[in-house]
A and B are shown apart, each in its own frame.
Chain A
Amino acid sequence: MARYDRVIPPGGRGKVTFSIDTGTVRGEFEKKAAIWSDDPENGVLTLILKGQVKPHILIEPGGYVSLWGVKGRVPQESLTIINNHKEPLKITGIDHDLEGKIRWRLEEIIPGYRYRLKVEDISGRAGEYAGHLIVRTDNPRKPRLVIIVNGTVNPY
């Protein structure tokens, strides 16, 4: 979004103000903007805004788990939950909607800052399923993390 002074008198100064919605930007960004004016020699002037938007909590490699394998031998998957704040993070609970299909286990790697979430298939039969793991935290700006879980269990 941009706000700007429409007319600037000779010898005067005005402002062009840009606002960036960091709710829709992730990681490093570079945005270009252009001022269109009636200066005959510089009708379009390009401006650049750079920055970095960090997530409050980062999930690596991403917010999904794919459990894929042969019945009874589906490899366990794991995610790392990283707290980017200086204040320690508490994981207050984990829920899911895949009762009887998955089991999870949480390990503290660096208490308050880095956790490993292990997810395994316990369905015991061939088939496919999909659902969510909800990780609850004490960070008021990120009280819940949603992790997508997909399972594909082959009969042989």
Chain B
Amino acid sequence: MLPNFQRTCRLSALLLPVLILLAGGMVAQGAQGDKRPVIEVRPKSHTFPPVFEGEALSYAFTVLNKGETDLHIKKVTHA
């Protein structure tokens, strides 16, 4: 009976730090997972004043990143 109890205690003592490390890692990972980029563009539309054919039209939208990690713009498409 006693040797079994001792073996269990020894095993627990060995496993405990491993469990603590694993749990700590999971918590850290969870916290990291909450960090994400947040895109915000305001306003989302623009109306140009009337122009004559051939005149240049150009407009720059301002894009904000309200998140906690880098925002990556993968592509911009237009029709």
Contacts and interface: CB of A to CB of B under 8 A. Distances in A.
A, B assembled together: yes
B5 to A, nearest CB: 50
Contact of A45 (B44, B46, B54): B44
Interface string B54-66: 1111111111111
A11 B70 CA distance: 9
A33 B51 contact: no
Contacts of A19: 56-58
Given A10-B37, A22-B56, A42-B38, A5 B47 contact: no
B41 A47 contact: yes
B72 A18 contact: no
B48 to A, nearest CB: 3
Contacts of B52: 22, 53-56, 84-85, 141
Given A2-B76, A22-B53, A49-B59, A35 B48 contact: no
A85 to B, nearest CB: 8
Interface of B: 36-39, 41, 44-79
Across the A-B interface, the 9 shortest Cβ-Cβ residue pairs: A51-B48, A33-B78, A48-B45, A20-B57, A17-B60, A8-B65, A52-B50, A39-B39, A2-B76
30 contacts: A6-B72, A7-B71, A8-B71, A9-B65, A10-B67, A10-B70, A11-B66, A15-B61, A15-B63, A16-B63, A17-B60, A18-B58, A22-B54, A33-B76, A33-B78, A35-B73, A36-B76, A37-B37, A38-B37, A38-B72, A42-B39, A45-B39, A47-B45, A49-B59, A50-B45, A50-B46, A51-B57, A54-B50, A54-B52, A141-B52
Interface of A: 2, 4-20, 22-23, 25-26, 31-42, 45-56, 84-85, 141
